[in-house]
Amino acid sequence: MRILQVSAFFLLLAFCVGTTQAQRYTLSGTVTDPAGQPLVGVNILEKGTTNGTTTDADGAYRLTYNDPNAVIVFSYVGFKRQEIVPAGRTELDVVLEEGIEFSELVVVGTRSLNRSVTESPVAVDVF
């Protein structure tokens, strides 16, 4: 009888723990450029967390998150960052706008100390 009571207690405890876990939400869709071409490797992140994913070769993604009021951030090099609240949606297709222009280009390199100008493969060594 005692074993039955202990078993029933653990069964009830397991049920309570299972029902109090946080609900998880799933968001999926595709990310494209304005021409409709899929973007590969777009960063998709639940804002304020380390929870995120990236798009695959078809621009598709799938993200599972915990907060029903989460802000989902879409970012990609050369495109404007977008922050979207899913508001209960399970599918969301995003079109990222071009717009970030690079104003400066920095080239970093190295040289051998014993190299002379006559051994230089190019006419200009300093940019």
Give residue 75's identity as a one-letter amino acid code: S
Whether pLDDT at 89 is above 70: yes
Mean pLDDT of 17-24: 60
Mean pLDDT of 84-99: 93
Quote the CA–CA distance of 38 and 60 in Å, as a whole number: 8
Under the banding of pLDDT at 50, 70 and 90, the label for residue 27 is very high
Mean pLDDT of 5-32: 68
Under the banding of pLDDT at 50, 70 and 90, the label for residue 20 is very low
- Between 38 and 116, name the one with better pLDDT: 38
- Asked whether the beta carbons of 55 and 44 are under 8 A apart, the reply is yes
Quote the CA–CA distance of 43 and 76 in Å, as a whole number: 6
Under the banding of pLDDT at 50, 70 and 90, the label for residue 88 is confident
- Asked whether the beta carbons of 27 and 45 are under 8 A apart, the reply is no
Under the banding of pLDDT at 50, 70 and 90, the label for residue 1 is low
